[in-house]
Structure 1
Amino acid sequence: MEPAQKERTPFADIDGLPASMSAMLLDALTEMGRHPEIRRVRRVAFEALSPQPGQRLLDAGSGEGEVARHLAVETQPAGEVVALDHSASITAAAVSRHDGSAVRYVTGDVCAMDLPADGFDGVWCERVLQHVDSAEQAIGELIRVTRPGGRICLIDTDWSSLAFDGMPSGLGEVVMAHVRGHFTPKQHDMGRTLRRRLVANGLTGITATPVTCLFTSPESAAVVLPMVNPRVPEESWATPPGLRDEWLACVDAAGASGTFLAVLTIWVVAGTVPG
């Protein structure tokens, strides 16, 4: 995750958190990557990026490295993946999980990468731009390090699409008003802005695919949506006293009755660097 944040989400400065909190966030990233809906988003993104044998790829904001290792399989033989993340602790965790594939793990800032120009055949950047202070600067860096004719694939969330059913709508609106910019970044509409950002930067062959994630139980939703996760410590909530417990009680009741529903759209947008 990246350093300059629009708002101080829990991912703003993982290395500055207590060790127990950093470990919890790493576990959350790992669990999220295993979720069927996130895997569905990633399948769309793999098709959009279309990694090929022999390519050199960058995973910008690589987390614990699962995607980078998957990309490395697709680039063999003779290919390589550079997995870049701002967090030293998350990078160390990625190294500890390395499976021997052709992945090189580095720390760095996606807005100012210490990487040569035109050095990659393709770039993957998943759910990072919603957190950075300047998405334009970050996209400029991703384009800079990609060779002409290379492919850039951006995956990001449109948090403004988040909707619930089965709980009192008024209560949900109040809760979201408090947690926006805390559990979710201020740049809540990043996903749907990706296409115009690539158009503005002159990329060609642009594809844009909205993937609506569906969660029909609180347990499934809690993996991706912190505002329905009772394991998130109470001190991490930005709600007035009592509101968290009231909301989670309604979530539990909706789960018990089978009426719980949550939807969230994640966008997959890809384009080719001109030249």
Structure 2
Amino acid sequence: MEPAQLDRTPFADLDRMPPDMLAMLVAALEAMSRHPEIRRVRHTAWTALRPEPGQRLLDAGCGAGDVARELATAVAPDGEIVALDYSEATLAAARTRHVSGDITYVPGDVCALDFDDESFDGVWCERVLQHVDDADTAVGELARVTRTGGRVCLLDTDWSSLAFDGVDAALAGRVIGHMHARRTSRQLGMGRTLRRRLLDHGLRDVTATPVTCFFPDPASAAVVLPMVNHDVPEEDWMTPAGMRAEWLDQVATAGERGDFLAVLTIWVAAGTV
């Protein structure tokens, strides 16, 4: 996760969290990584980045390191992955999960990268930009450290695309409206701005692909959508106070009937420096 989050989320200030809460949030990151819809998003990004043996790649905002480990396999035997995160706690989790591959885990800020120009053959940056104060500065830094001809691949969410079916429409609207009210417009719509940001920094051959994630039942949705997850505390900003029980009952009933549905678009944008 990255610094200077304008609104508090469950993944903010990880380094200040008690160990049990940190363990829960790292487990949530890992569960998301295993989710078939997130795997589908990452497959789209993998195709856009085009990792090859021998490359030196940066995973900017590596979390628990699951993508870094996969990239390390792709660039083997002579390549290298630098896995960077602002949180020392998540870096520690990534190090404990390291099995093989040439991966260097380093703390850092995507808005002020401590690397020379043209240090990498490519960059992967997943669901990070919605959390930083100045996404354009971050994209400029990612482009700066990528060699001429290298690829920068950005993945981020368009939270304004979130929609539900099978539940009371008015209640769903209030739940979504609460989430919108607690996030800035930048946080809500970061995904759909990625293409423009890459073009603004002079990248060429820019592609942008919207991947609509489909969740056909509450259990599937709860892995990615916190407002459907029973484990998210009532006082947390993602669950409107006083509506939690009614909303979760609606979700559970729709799941039992078999007509629950949630959709969310995550964008993948990539370009050549």
Task: Give 2:8's aligned residue.
Answer: 8
- Taking the TM superposition and a 5 Å limit, the aligned residue runs for 1:162-177 are 162-177=162-177
Deviation at 1:239, TM superposition (A): 5.1
- Taking the TM superposition and a 5 Å limit, the aligned residue runs for 1:32-111 are 32-111=32-111
Structure 1, residues 208-238: CA drift from partner, whole Å, max 9, x if none?
1111000000000000000000111222246
SS of equivalent to 1:262: strand
Query: CA 1:89/1:188 → structure 2, altered by over 3 Å: closer, same or farther?
Result: same
* CA contact 1:58–1:81 (8 Å) conserved in 2: yes
* Alpha-carbon separation, structure 1, partners of 2:208 and 2:28: 27
* CA contact 2:226–2:238 (8 Å) conserved in 1: no
Match status 1:230 vs 2:242: no
Query: CA 1:63/1:241 → structure 2, altered by over 3 Å: closer, same or farther?
Result: closer
Structure 1, residues 94-116: CA drift from partner, whole Å, max 9, x if none?
00000121111111111111122
* CA contact 1:10–1:183 (8 Å) conserved in 2: no
* Alpha-carbon separation, structure 1, partners of 2:245 and 2:161: 24
Match status 1:206 vs 2:206: yes
* CA contact 1:6–1:133 (8 Å) conserved in 2: yes
Q: TM-score, normalised by structure 1?
A: 0.96
SS of equivalent to 1:8: coil
Deviation at 1:251, TM superposition (A): 0.4
Q: TM-score, normalised by structure 2?
A: 0.96
Quick one: which amino acid aligns to residue 223 of structure 2?
A: V
- Taking the TM superposition and a 5 Å limit, the aligned residue runs for 1:90-169 are 90-169=90-169
What fraction of aligned residue pairs are identical, expressed as a percent?
63
Task: Give 1:264's aligned residue.
Answer: 264
Quick one: which amino acid aligns to residue 253 of structure 1?
A: T
* CA contact 2:227–2:238 (8 Å) conserved in 1: no
* Alpha-carbon separation, structure 1, partners of 2:199 and 2:85: 26
Deviation at 1:8, TM superposition (A): 1.4
* Alpha-carbon separation, structure 1, partners of 2:238 and 2:260: 23
Structure 1: segments with no counterpart, 5+ residues: none
Structure 1, residues 239-264: CA drift from partner, whole Å, max 9, x if none?
55431111011000100100100000
Deviation at 1:64, TM superposition (A): 0.6
* Alpha-carbon separation, structure 2, partners of 1:186 and 1:15: 24
SS of equivalent to 1:180: helix
Quick one: which amino acid aligns to residue 191 of structure 1?
A: G
* Alpha-carbon separation, structure 2, partners of 1:183 and 1:196: 21
* Alpha-carbon separation, structure 1, partners of 2:249 and 2:114: 48
* CA contact 1:9–1:181 (8 Å) conserved in 2: no
Task: Give 1:197's aligned residue.
Answer: 197
* Alpha-carbon separation, structure 1, partners of 2:3 and 2:159: 20
Deviation at 1:185, TM superposition (A): 8.1
* CA contact 2:160–2:180 (8 Å) conserved in 1: no
Deviation at 1:12, TM superposition (A): 2.0
* Alpha-carbon separation, structure 2, partners of 1:264 and 1:101: 33
Query: CA 1:240/1:56 → structure 2, altered by over 3 Å: closer, same or farther?
Result: closer
SS of equivalent to 1:28: helix
Structure 2: segments with no counterpart, 5+ residues: none
Deviation at 1:182, TM superposition (A): 5.0
* Alpha-carbon separation, structure 1, partners of 2:16 and 2:229: 23
Structure 1, residues 72-127: CA drift from partner, whole Å, max 9, x if none?
11111210000001110110010000012111111111111112211000000000
Structure 1, residues 6-32: CA drift from partner, whole Å, max 9, x if none?
311122211122222211110100000
* CA contact 1:9–1:184 (8 Å) conserved in 2: no
* CA contact 2:30–2:64 (8 Å) conserved in 1: yes
Consecutive aligned runs of 4 or more in structure 1 exceeding 3 Å deviation:
180-186, 237-241
Task: Give 1:30's aligned residue.
Answer: 30
Query: CA 1:121/1:241 → structure 2, altered by over 3 Å: closer, same or farther?
Result: closer
